[in-house]
Amino acid sequence: MPEVSDIRLPLNINFSLEKARKTQIILSKMVIREDRINTPIRYVAGIDLAYTDKYSIGAAAVLSYEDLKPIEVKLAVTEVKFPYIPTLLSFREMPAAAAAIKRLETKPDVFLVDGQGLAHPYRLGFASHLGVTLNIPTIGVAKKLLCGEILKGDGLWRPIIYEGEVVGGAVYTKREAKPVYVSIGHRVSLETAIKIVLDCTKGHRIPEPLRIAHIHAKKAKRDYLSKHNSSFRFSGEGWNGHPS
């Protein structure tokens, strides 16, 4: 079976729905909505996950912020121990993502996370949960809108309003493509988050750090499925340098 990471997180697999909701409320109040990020930014990471029947595969891809060249990718596999519950997905995603980050040799200045941040009914999507728990600057970059309405307007982004508050922005990263939905994760303001996402766009709708992380997470999933037997082991070491 895959090698399961031993990283310890404040996540009890016996959480009840009520306890999970209370934890969300507590952590949401700890989200820092202003810039507390190292500058100038040298390294940016993308965090994405893939799932098999029993396991989650976390991928952390580090790129140079200046030219978006890949520097390092690390992977981690953890057993899925939290059920699929909408608006509580971060509890399911945290272990593998945090384990992959723990393996990085290069320290990113900011993390783009495939998921919501503040643009969440409980103000604590995956990006915020990860950022607060690990105390790292994070930005939520989601492919779908979870809550709120997008205001009409021009330019490269438009505000997302939920319950009378600007919780994120619909950011147009590619001409004639759907926007990505950007929100504060932790320790990054919305204005800075949108700028970083646009800076990390390289001809695709999805920012390059997330695109690279997604490629490696999906490849690891395919490798697992093609070797789905008791002899399969997953080192999670990933690679350093440019992808082949």
Question: 183-228: per-residue pLDDT in tens?
Answer: 999 999 999 999 999 999 999 999 999 999 999 999 999 998 887 6
Q: What percentage of the chain exceeds 90 in pLDDT?
A: 79
- Give how many domains the chain has, as a whole number: 1
Cross-strand pairs, 107:
none
pLDDT band (50, 70, 90) for residue 6? very low
Mean pLDDT for 120-147 is: 98
d(CA 213, CA 219): 10
Query: Does residue 182 form part of some domain?
Result: yes
Selection from 164, 236, 184, 170 nearest residue 2 by Cα: 236
Question: 102-112: per-residue pLDDT in tens?
Answer: 999 999 999 99
Query: Does residue 5 form part of some domain?
Result: no
Query: Does residue 7 form part of some domain?
Result: no
Query: Does residue 3 form part of some domain?
Result: no
Report the mean per-residue pLDDT for the chain.
89
- Residue 178 structural domain: 17-240
Q: What percentage of the chain exceeds 70 in pLDDT?
A: 87
pLDDT at 7 over 90: no
Query: Does residue 4 form part of some domain?
Result: no
**The pLDDT of residue 8:** 35
pLDDT band (50, 70, 90) for residue 15? low
pLDDT band (50, 70, 90) for residue 136? very high
Selection from 209, 203, 206, 215 nearest residue 182 by Cα: 206
Query: Does residue 11 form part of some domain?
Result: no
Mean pLDDT for 24-33 is: 97
pLDDT at 243 over 50: no
Contact predicate 158/130, CB 8 Å = no
Helix (H) or strand (E) holding 194: helix 190-199
Q: What is the pTM assigned to this prediction?
A: 0.88
Contact predicate 59/51, CB 8 Å = no
pLDDT at 238 over 80: no
Query: Does residue 1 form part of some domain?
Result: no
**The pLDDT of residue 227:** 79
Query: Does residue 10 form part of some domain?
Result: no
Cβ-Cβ contacts under 8 Å for 35 (sequence gap 6 or more): 187, 188, 189, 192
pLDDT at 65 over 50: yes
Residue 140: give its domain's CATH number: 3.30.2170.10
